[in-house]
Structure 1
Amino acid sequence: MSGEDTFSQVPTAHIDMRWIVAGGDVIGQVVNLPRPLPTALFSLPPPPDRLVGRVADLEALLGELAPAPEDGMRTDLPQGENASSGVVVSALAGMGGVGKTALALAAGAIAHHKGWFCAELFVDLRGYTPGSEPLSAHMALDVLLRQMGVDPEDIPVGETERSSFYRSALAALERADDRGRPVLVVADNANTAAQVKPLLPGPGGHKLVATSRGGLHSLAGARHVDLDVLDLDGALALLAAELTSHTPEDPRAKDEMGLGRLIELCGRLPLALEIAAAYLKRNPRLTPDRMADRLEKAASRVDKLADPDRGIGKERALRAVFDTSLEHLDRGEAEVFLLVASTPGPTLGTAAAEVLTGLPFEEVEEVLEELAAAHLLTQPAAGRWGVHDLLADYARHHPDPPAERDLALERLLDYYTAVVRAADQHLQALPGQSTSNLFPDRETASGWLEAERATLVAAALAAPGLGHAGAAMVLPLCLGFYLGRGRHFEDLEQVSRSAQRVAHAVGDAYSEAGVWTNLGVVLRRTRRFDEAIDAYIHACDLYHQVGEARGEAQAWNNLGLVLVDLRRFDEAIRAHFRACEVFEQAGEAHGEAGAWNNLGAVLRQVRRFDEAIGAHFRAHEVFQRVGDAHGEAQAWNNLGSVLIDLRRFDEAVGVLSRACEVFQQVGDAHSEAQAWNNLGAVLRQLDRFDEAIDALSRAREVFHHVGDAHSEARAWTNLGAVLVDVSRFDEAIQAHTRAREVFHQVGDVHSEAVAWNNLGVALADLGRFDEAIDAHTRACDLYHRTGDTHGEAGAWRNLGAALTPGGVRRAEAVEAMRRSVDLYEATGDEEQALLMRELLARIQQEPDADDST
């Protein structure tokens, strides 16, 4: 396109087709068009009042229809392909109701307005019209010839002669035009390429636009445009435009939340949206939310989406529209579609489709390709097949489903259960342990789980309704490790709650204990600690009932972790000791190592450092012996934290660096970030500030990427402390403020106290003492509430320092320092208590502020 005919100047989602300004051009958001003249040579039906969300598609189509440059050469074709010597065929394809005809008519109206053609002809091939027989090419040629003014008596009888006569008539129209313009032919609603091929114009620059639910891919040289459903903005614009065209001030047009719900339930399909809008327009008091509720509760959304104007015809009823797509398939293809579209999940792999249908792999793959070409399925990735939500609803509620659909779905769930169990074995296997031969290695198993995750979750949730209690329980249990390690907590909670209900209903205490354990993982990670405790107690009791010592020990171990999060350290120590005992009794050395590792972490919290080091070394030894590299890294990471507390910084750097390496090797990004966070803290203590900032920034970025806001805030806390050391105080204040806000949001009072304390230090370094005093006061209060005496001692120490400058508030400073000394002594930290006594003595010897003046 060039000059005034370029359509690229329309970058909008809403094109208003209603009003006529003769000679106008494309300006802003409105394209003003004249109505087609009521003559046979200009027989395109009126375009839609507005075309929404199709600007890019419309521009592409107009680019094909635009006249070639005056020299007859199209610059966008390969060298030697002269547009004037042939014909441009544009094939618009997409599922029923996606708006193919609307796009073709809109393009035709714009082309008419710009005067690109001497005639614009239209024929409805009725390929997918409910209740109608498709129009043959023979009859379509008759329609087009009559539009061109050919006497019916002169129209040849044979199709080949009629096609030749048609091409000659097109050439005659071009010669008769004083500007020598070609003809546009729109062949709408084609079923097969056989309907369209005889309509291909001859040389002269004539253009043919054909629409079909299939791709018409056998039309040589055709430019294919596949239409998808609208994006959210386009769908919102369509509904808003429908409402305001009926009632200009309709307030529902601005209800983006309600309209958004309605849009998703309509699958963003234009026809479905227009039908929903018709219901809203019919009843001004019907809200989008209420309409969405009706669709959500309907037995079948497809049946609900029929135009309320019952006399308008089946073209405005989704089931009738989809029926016509199915009618054009052979019986085998139709059965495969109804099976595949009925399966749970957004996509289905070809191997799963083989199990579902019972067809050989190559055969089912070819059928799936045919269904995708007919726009009944999508192919989002190689070997994966999807279906639009409304087509899935149509298939699930089809009145004549495949005879063995229930058995086919049962086979599919059995297949998923077997393969998930095999994949889980690979993920959790230690060196030397046997694994299923369904996967060659751990990486392949993990890749399969990642590709299938959404489908497997959907299958687990659908299994109870399909009467498959085994899959309803086993799928969540075997997905637990993968989903937990990958931090897919929402998925894990959904499948675990579903499995718990099924296991309880069928009286399977062992499986119910397992899903309670998995549920506890989610609840702890999402900081719902009281619920997590209940979950683990349920698991402990059920495992004890069925005599499953290993499961009971693991539940005790996990319970201890929650109690640590709540700073209930004495209870946590008892829980971890209990886990160690039960693991040892059951001969589970590997599980016992995990419990010792967790016990070491809680012993560190109560400053029993020597015992903590012993626990971590004991855990590391077992992990190393059984070849569990990940567990070994966890032990190193925890040990590093203890060594930091003991100021054995060089040793801490060594073990934490090793933990980072191992976590990276095993692909656990979240645990690697935790190790980087700890490493950054110890590098700071060694005055290796640049390295510390790099390590902490790396940790913060990973935590942000995986969506762990709490751990990200911890990294911000450590990073802020280093920024203070390098005198980047403004950045430090921002880091500590961000950490404080997150800790407050998630209800972590102790970490919030740490952030307030660190913030006060940064503020004091900038001379903002009043703000620093407020921050340290808040820290003292929060530390006291959480029972952290040692942390409270540090906050009082910092408060005293903030009160000291100028000597004006020396009495308050002295009191704060005394509180700090007492608290350090109460924790047994004599080193800090001695330092504070010396500092207190110096402050008391200083002259009062008034004396110094």
Structure 2
Amino acid sequence: MEFQLLGPVRAISDGRQVDLGVRKQRFVLAMMLLDANKLVPADRLVELTWPDEAPRSARGVIHTHISRLRSVLNAADAERHGVALISNGPGYMMKCDPKRIDVNKFMDLCTEARGLAEEEARIRVLDDALALWDGPALASVAPEEVRARLTRHLDEARLLAMEERIDAHMRLGRHAEVIHELTELEAQHPYRQQIVAQLMLALHRSDRGPDALTAYQKLYHRLDHELGVEPAPALRDLQTRILRDDPALKLNPKEKIKAGPRQLPPDVDHYIGRQGHIDEICELLIPRTDDVLPIVAVTGKPGLGKTALAVKAGRKLVAKFPDGQLFIDLHGNSPRPRDPSEVLARFLRDLGVDGADVPSTLEERVGLFRDRTAGRRILVVLDNAATEQQVRLLIPGNAECAVLITSRRRLTGLDMRKLVDLDVLDRSDALELLTDLVGTERLATDDTHAQRIVDLCGGLPLALRIVGTKLRSRPHLTASSLAERLEDERTRLDELVGGDREIRASFLLSYDSLDEEHQRAFRLLALMPDNGLPPWAVAAVLDVDYRTSERLVEDLVDVNLVEATPGRYQFHDLMRLYAQEKLADDPSRDEARIRLINAYLYLGKRADAMLDFGGLHQFNPPQFTMDTPGVLAEIDRGPALWLDQEYPAILEAIEHAAATGMDELTCQLSATVAAFFELRAQWADLKRVGELSLAAAGRFSSPYWTAYAQFAVGLAARETRDFRRAEESFRAGLQILPKAHDPLLEVVTLLSVGVAERLQGRWDEAAKYFDGCLSVLEALDKPRWRAYTLRESGVLDRYRGNWDRAEQRLREAIGTFERLGDQRWIGATLRELGIVRRGVGDYAGSLEILLKSRDALRGAGDLRREGASLRCLAETHRALGSFEEARACAEQGLDILELTLDSHGLACTQVVLADVLMDMGDISGAGVQLEKGLVALRVSGDPRWHGKALVTRARYLSLTGDACGAEVAIDEARTLLLDVGAFEAGLISGKLARLVGPSC
């Protein structure tokens, strides 16, 4: 594990950047690393984190940051790397190898360089040292005054290393080459007299004496007017010697060394991220002993910063290629890419060939170029390459050289060491770049508006630079207002314009380079949903055979206009907006969309028919013929897994059908995902498609689709505890069911109403609906639905303590599910049977059954019910006195349920965990869990679980000394449980005496 403080604060583990959290958290880590292996007092951390006034909770916040950092580092396997963040009395200590921190590496390299006698070696080591810097130390984690206070010694050491490196170059006679660098340094450090002295000497030795004297005068006036002092005696002496043209200032011409071309552009300011890519490129381009010229290409979509990355890597490699660095933009996306013959002519002149001696033919230029690069170590950077053919002729023949290429194309026909596929910045780096561009005084990485801007820019560096520059240069523009403007997809690309930078223009270059066939494919693919399209859907959209569609879309992948993931194609968000602009005027778009919708309708119906509650709807989709290999087999193997990938496209199709008046299609499409949404507990999506379907069914007066839609809306409302809406929808559905002529839909609706009544504590009504269900099923050959109904009726029996009938019905249901091979409902029904066995005192039997339930549900991928099964296991372990096992099961259940939308199940599990924690003596922890659970259960509409939670609250209040409060809670619990007829009401009288003792 490596740590970087010389720039943004980062941790790198096994080549991957670790997400260190929010800005203050990264700052705490930086302070610990600056004093690695030393005790850092908590008071010092507080003082530096809040330099103006610390809040009362400051020490607690620091402790939280330390705890989170410890978790982050542990997750990155820090212990294996010898890294540990420990608490120690009044402070904290970061234990790690100092050589893993870039600050210490930098200092060691500077010390090494000063001990070297050979100038080239000194330069190489100092280059390596300075390459460790990626901006100001501790960039973007602290206010500037605090940052300067902590890193002043580092900034001074960096400047000193720069000066020593420049001195070494000047001793080798490279005066002209360092003037540009010295001018930039002088502008950044206008009072640094050593830099001015170096600049004066370099200018004088380059026969620019007047410019050297002007540099002195600028410094003199600056010091005199602003500080009231004169330049140091040594600098005044240098001015006098330049005025006299002192011969001693000139180097002996015999000592001068001819420098090669140094054409790399300047580094991009505010450069964040990509460190892993930079390190990888540098390692790949270092010549090896295999006599093979190292070639690396960087590819990616427009706006990713490929050129900036190449320049950054190239500058780190300067010391490895002392004979020069050639750089050229090949204009690969312009209508006229550079001709290789013209490029070679320029390269030859840069390598010292007189213009008159440049050969006239391409073949001769290639030969002379390879001759001039032979025996030399030169880095060639070919930016924005068009094709493999353009690049091949520009590659030296000497394995001591190296070639770095950037291109929007993937250049797969080129032999190279590696193709580095660049992607967008991850969210933390993108936030850091934006805040670095704008300034932490105006924007923080934890600003919600900044986070929204980053998301809307899709992590694209060019887009972030445009919006960052806008915010920085326009004080009246706020992150909030800019985020609001970017929210509108219709005008987002209009906002991403700044000066000569424009996202749309960048995309246009790539689009214009396509032929008409590929431009059409690019436009029509704008119909794809956010999560992209599989290959068969691409063929449907383009209305071509599979092989043709594959060729077209893979060509678009090669030029980085479309992204490919396993089994899927998609756009970057901004590229998709651009494609949609192009699609707006395409007359074939509506036909293409209908082809796509019909394909999803056909395949969605097939997948739905294989789900537990699927296959209820009665309609024949349009026949869809495809030649894509394996699609139908993929659906048959895993219909739910297929829908996991494809439901966003079906949702988008439903929204479009509803908005454009295709009412019957809206109902049909909605029906293909309803059972899937129940399976995945995606109740908001089920509610949405149900409401769209209900409105559509009303417009074309369909009793069948109205009844079906009312069922879907009611089910979604029931599962989100909106019982009023559920009752309205179910009753409306029951009224229209006779006209729908679908007895199975009647069964499904009656069963759903019964479950809703049971959940609300109206158990007599629930029993009537379950009995009605079973009555209708007598005339139907539907064993699965009979098993569902028996299960739900058995649950009601166990609520009432009717253990024998509950077990009888549950075992019959399990038998049916076993014959059907339905693991999900075997597991769900075994859970209920396990509770029944615990209810009759058979704890060992309960444990065995519940373990089988958990395993079956886990195998079926039903997270919601697996979490519930773990909760039941916790209760059985608790009954057996196995409190550690009970706690582990409850906590695991919580972890799983937090991944679902089952807030009710989560609350019930929190109550169970509270009881377990009280068993183990952790009263405060129990109070936290209990309060979370009670907040949800008070508004859940479930009187039984609310009553059970109040019993647990009575126990908690008793243990904390509040006997009166405990008695009030017990009385309220008894009332709730008696009202619904729950068997737990009969247990309360005994609990009351045990919990509250004498009357308060």
Q: 1:105 to 1:525 in 2, by over 3 A?
A: same
1:107 corresponds to which residue? 313
2:263 corresponds to which residue? 43
Question: How many residues are paired up?
Answer: 757
Task: Say which SS state the counterpart of residue 379 (structure 1) adopts.
Answer: strand
TM-score, length basis structure 1: 0.77
Per-residue deviation, 1:504: 3.8
Task: Say which SS state the counterpart of residue 474 (structure 1) adopts.
Answer: helix
Q: 1:721 to 1:110 in 2, by over 3 A?
A: closer
Q: Does 1:421 align with 2:605?
A: yes
Task: Say which SS state the counterpart of residue 51 (structure 1) adopts.
Answer: coil
2:991 corresponds to which residue? 798
Worse-superposed segment, 189-198 or 542-551: 542-551
1:836 corresponds to which residue? none
2:483 corresponds to which residue? 292
Per-residue deviation, 1:211: 1.0
1:395 corresponds to which residue? 579
Per-residue deviation, 1:46: 2.4
The letter of the residue matching 1:160 is: E
Q: 1:57 to 1:438 in 2, by over 3 A?
A: closer
Cα-Cα RMSD: 4.2
1:384 corresponds to which residue? 568
Q: 2:714 aligns with which of 520, 525, 529?
A: 520
Asked if structure 2 preserves the Cα contact closer than 8 Å seen for 1:750 and 1:783, the reply is: no
Q: 1:346 aligns with which of 510, 528, 531?
A: 531
Asked if structure 2 preserves the Cα contact closer than 8 Å seen for 1:58 and 1:107, the reply is: yes
1:729 corresponds to which residue? 921
Task: Say which SS state the counterpart of residue 50 (structure 1) adopts.
Answer: coil
Q: 1:141 to 1:543 in 2, by over 3 A?
A: farther
Worse-superposed segment, 591-600 or 265-274: 591-600
Q: 1:209 to 1:401 in 2, by over 3 A?
A: farther
1:837 corresponds to which residue? none
Per-residue deviation, 1:413: 1.3
Q: Does 1:367 align with 2:552?
A: yes
Task: Say which SS state the counterpart of residue 520 (structure 1) adopts.
Answer: helix
2:761 corresponds to which residue? 567
Task: Say which SS state the counterpart of residue 611 (structure 2) adopts.
Answer: helix
> Partners in 2 of 1:371 and 1:186 — Cα distance?
25
Q: 1:124 aligns with which of 322, 326, 329?
A: 329
Task: Say which SS state the counterpart of residue 271 (structure 2) adopts.
Answer: strand
Task: Say which SS state the counterpart of residue 417 (structure 1) adopts.
Answer: helix
Q: Does 1:535 align with 2:719?
A: no
Q: Does 1:202 align with 2:397?
A: yes
Counterparts of 1:26-175 in structure 2 under 5 Å?
A: 35=180, 41-65=261-285, 74=288, 81-82=289-290, 85-112=291-318, 114=319, 116-129=321-334, 133-171=336-374, 174=376
Per-residue deviation, 1:111: 4.1
Q: 2:669 aligns with which of 475, 488, 495?
A: 475
Q: Does 1:187 align with 2:372?
A: no
Task: Say which SS state the counterpart of residue 390 (structure 2) adopts.
Answer: helix
Asked if structure 2 preserves the Cα contact closer than 8 Å seen for 1:736 and 1:755, the reply is: no
The letter of the residue matching 1:53 is: G
The letter of the residue matching 2:577 is: D
Asked if structure 2 preserves the Cα contact closer than 8 Å seen for 1:773 and 1:799, the reply is: no
Per-residue CA distance 1:489-534 (angstroms, 9 max, x = gap): 4443444444444444444443343233233333333333333333
The letter of the residue matching 2:581 is: H
Per-residue deviation, 1:583: 4.6
Task: Say which SS state the counterpart of residue 729 (structure 1) adopts.
Answer: coil
> Partners in 2 of 1:505 and 1:396 — Cα distance?
30
Q: 1:751 to 1:773 in 2, by over 3 A?
A: farther
Per-residue CA distance 1:660-698 (angstroms, 9 max, x = gap): 565566554543554454455456556677876776666
> Partners in 1 of 2:495 and 2:339 — Cα distance?
33
Per-residue CA distance 1:205-258 (angstroms, 9 max, x = gap): 2222221101223222343222111111221122222223xxx74x24567211
2:121 corresponds to which residue? none
The letter of the residue matching 1:168 is: D
Q: 1:591 to 1:281 in 2, by over 3 A?
A: same
Per-residue deviation, 1:614: 6.1
> Partners in 1 of 2:731 and 2:894 — Cα distance?
34
1:820 corresponds to which residue? none
The letter of the residue matching 1:413 is: I
Task: Say which SS state the counterpart of residue 411 (structure 2) adopts.
Answer: coil
Worse-superposed segment, 251-260 or 582-591: 582-591
2:932 corresponds to which residue? 741
Per-residue CA distance 1:275-307 (angstroms, 9 max, x = gap): 223443453222223222223224253344233
Per-residue deviation, 1:343: 1.6
TM-score, length basis structure 2: 0.67
2:492 corresponds to which residue? 301
Worse-superposed segment, 362-371 or 639-648: 639-648
1:557 corresponds to which residue? 751
Asked if structure 2 preserves the Cα contact closer than 8 Å seen for 1:616 and 1:638, the reply is: yes
Per-residue CA distance 1:68-87 (angstroms, 9 max, x = gap): 6xxxxx3xxxxxx43xx443
Asked if structure 2 preserves the Cα contact closer than 8 Å seen for 1:780 and 1:796, the reply is: no
The letter of the residue matching 1:162 is: R
Per-residue CA distance 1:400-433 (angstroms, 9 max, x = gap): 86553322221121111111111111224999xx
Asked if structure 1 preserves the Cα contact closer than 8 Å seen for 2:540 and 2:595, the reply is: yes
Task: Say which SS state the counterpart of residue 224 (structure 1) adopts.
Answer: strand
Counterparts of 1:173-322 in structure 2 under 5 Å?
A: 174=376, 182-203=377-398, 205-244=400-439, 249=441, 251-253=442-444, 256-307=447-498, 309=499, 312=500, 316-322=501-507
Asked if structure 1 preserves the Cα contact closer than 8 Å seen for 2:431 and 2:445, the reply is: no
Q: 1:14 to 1:685 in 2, by over 3 A?
A: same
Per-residue deviation, 1:98: 0.8
The letter of the residue matching 1:241 is: D
> Partners in 1 of 2:758 and 2:640 — Cα distance?
31
Per-residue deviation, 1:785: 5.4
Asked if structure 2 preserves the Cα contact closer than 8 Å seen for 1:111 and 1:117, the reply is: no
> Partners in 1 of 2:880 and 2:399 — Cα distance?
81
> Partners in 2 of 1:453 and 1:25 — Cα distance?
61
Q: 1:337 to 1:14 in 2, by over 3 A?
A: farther
Task: Say which SS state the counterpart of residue 573 (structure 1) adopts.
Answer: helix
Asked if structure 2 preserves the Cα contact closer than 8 Å seen for 1:523 and 1:532, the reply is: yes
> Partners in 2 of 1:329 and 1:584 — Cα distance?
65
Per-residue deviation, 1:327: 2.4
Per-residue deviation, 1:344: 1.9
Structure 2: stretches of 5+ with no match in the other structure = 1-108, 110-123, 141-154, 165-177, 184-258, 622-630
Q: Does 1:23 align with 2:161?
A: yes
Per-residue deviation, 1:360: 2.7
Asked if structure 2 preserves the Cα contact closer than 8 Å seen for 1:121 and 1:185, the reply is: yes
Per-residue deviation, 1:736: 6.7
1:334 corresponds to which residue? 519
> Partners in 2 of 1:106 and 1:586 — Cα distance?
73
Asked if structure 1 preserves the Cα contact closer than 8 Å seen for 2:830 and 2:852, the reply is: yes
Asked if structure 1 preserves the Cα contact closer than 8 Å seen for 2:524 and 2:583, the reply is: no
Per-residue deviation, 1:378: 1.6
Task: Say which SS state the counterpart of residue 302 (structure 2) adopts.
Answer: coil
The letter of the residue matching 1:257 is: T
Asked if structure 2 preserves the Cα contact closer than 8 Å seen for 1:341 and 1:396, the reply is: yes
Q: 1:10 to 1:541 in 2, by over 3 A?
A: farther
> Partners in 1 of 2:285 and 2:842 — Cα distance?
76
Task: Say which SS state the counterpart of residue 146 (structure 1) adopts.
Answer: helix
Worse-superposed segment, 480-489 or 509-518: 509-518
Worse-superposed segment, 338-347 or 409-418: 338-347
Structure 1: stretches of 5+ with no match in the other structure = 27-32, 69-73, 75-80, 175-181, 805-809, 814-853
Per-residue CA distance 1:317-348 (angstroms, 9 max, x = gap): 22222122122233323322322243224121
> Partners in 2 of 1:228 and 1:107 — Cα distance?
17
2:61 corresponds to which residue? none
Task: Say which SS state the counterpart of residue 52 (structure 1) adopts.
Answer: coil
> Partners in 2 of 1:630 and 1:222 — Cα distance?
50
Instruction: Give the fraction of aligned pairs with identical amino acids, expressed as a percent.
Output: 25
Asked if structure 2 preserves the Cα contact closer than 8 Å seen for 1:569 and 1:605, the reply is: no
